[in-house]
Structure 1
């Protein structure tokens, strides 16, 4: 009986130690291999996004829509510095290349346009912090888009209106 009690106490002690190890904050830390894997994944994502940006910038019209959709496929996987450069590109590309952006899209691309506007709005939230700054920037963006419409086709004008509508909705949610 004494041996049984000793064995029982030993098992309880070992079980208690195992539970402490599992509940320990250190138990939830990534291993070195996991950390390296996360870094590698982050670097790959950053490289993939950089390549997608380059592909859009250098694309011919017949490839640009595919490249825009590819770029948007990263939207839900970004954070931190990668997100900042991603959103900056989304905003700057439409502002500086409005016709190139709109000319390859169709009314069926309304979801892509809304996604692009959302990422552009994230950049606007960085550029303009106060409601007054946001309002001023929105007025400037709207004015610039209206001025560019003289060089757009009727289809592109409708897509631009949709982009601005989605951009305003996204800005208002910030």
Structure 2
């Protein structure tokens, strides 16, 4: 296993159990058996490391490849919802403590902006897909893809939060039947 992969594995576990606000790069480097300068050689800063963990170790919508016009809209949205639920359920323990520290949150927000990332982009996977389906006529012209995306994404976040609240970081994942029910409820007005 490469040094980079070892760093990501250690960081994923430490961030999951301690959160980004409490985890240190020194702790992650120590758990990996590398120096902090080596960690920074691979990732540049803590936020870049966090982004790499989220992109490469925490499943999410970026792992889902769907094509507008292929399959059914409902099946495609279900895949996105299922991936988004899993992403939020696994990332909430990592990121939750940021909310309690306005200064750390501001620093994090600025770093995410520099890296072209952040929660403000979370619904884009849904919105982009919905716009493409709308262009093909598979979604009604009166639908607002951005608003529908926010509703789907928000429902995923809320369900993941409730699961984390009830069961902690090792709570059971939302079943596929939840993703299917959410899409059935949302898709009818769109089609």
- TM-score, normalization: structure 2? 0.28
TM-score in terms of structure 1 length: 0.29
Higher helix share: 1
Q: Whose radius of gyration is greater, 1 or 2?
A: 1
